[in-house]
């Protein structure tokens, strides 16, 4: 008879732990999850706003994050506009000087698939990873829209570039 209450307590504690873990993960989303809301907000700001960057400094090892930042550029206004999305809602916007102007396609490979490809190619995530989608190599003959994924900043940590259109590995660098 004393085992029965103990079993109930263990089961209840397990359920509470499971529910708590689910609640924490509920706010985590991929980069594409907030794109529609971010773009709608940017279009309210300037009708000619184009997506130029998607990023987070707090990516989980599965490519999700609690908050994603989306940057837009307006050629007409000659300004940039950042839109932060958290829990499926726009939480902050800011007009900025444009330091990125090259448009990226909204048809990019999503962050969860990018993270999986990066890990297949040597990325190890220590805590949280930095992920950023942008056009790179504009001064070369073959610029590309790439995801940059960095798993850490210590000697030996790896950064990986993934082609944002195909989801294929592009290159890897090791922190000196």
User: Using one digit for the tens of pLDDT, what is the confidence trace for 59-110?
Assistant: 999 999 999 999 999 999 999 999 999 999 999 999 999 899 999 999 999 9
> 82 with 136: CB under 8 angstroms?
no
Rounded distance, CA 132 to CA 11, Å? Answer: 42
The pLDDT of residue 88 is 92
Does position 2 have pLDDT exceeding 70, yes or no?
no
The pLDDT of residue 26 is 53
Tokens for 57?
Answer: 């400094």
Place of tokens 């993270």: 115
Q: 37: helix, coil or strand?
A: helix
The pLDDT of residue 164 is 97
Q: Where are the domains of the chain?
A: 31-174
* Largest distance between two CA atoms of the chain: 77
> 79 with 120: CB under 8 angstroms?
no
> 162 with 117: CB under 8 angstroms?
yes
157-175: pLDDT as tens digits? 999 999 999 999 999 999 9
Does position 9 have pLDDT exceeding 60, yes or no?
no
Q: What is the pTM of this model?
A: 0.83
Tokens for 47?
Answer: 């009708």
């Amino acid at each position: 008879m004393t085992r029965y209450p103990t079993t109930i307590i263990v089961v209840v504690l397990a359920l509470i732990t499971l529910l708590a873990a689910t609640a924490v993960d509920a706010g985590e989303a991929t980069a594409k999850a907030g794109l529609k809301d971010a773009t709608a907000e940017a279009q309210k700001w300037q009708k000619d706003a184009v997506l130029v960057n998607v990023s987070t400094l707090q990516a989980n090892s599965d490519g999700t994050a609690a908050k994603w930042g989306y940057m837009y550029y307006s050629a007409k206004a000659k300004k940039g506009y950042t839109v932060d999305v958290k829990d499926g809602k726009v939480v902050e916007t800011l007009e900025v000087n444009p330091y990125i102007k090259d448009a990226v396609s909204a048809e990019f490979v999503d962050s969860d698939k990018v993270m999986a490809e990066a890990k297949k190619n040597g990325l190890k995530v220590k805590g949280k990873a930095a992920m950023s989608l942008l056009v790179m190599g504009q001064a070369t003959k073959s610029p590309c829209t790439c995801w940059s994924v960095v798993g850490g900043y210590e000697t030996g940590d790896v950064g990986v570039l993934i082609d944002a259109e195909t989801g294929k590995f592009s290159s890897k660098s090791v922190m000196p």
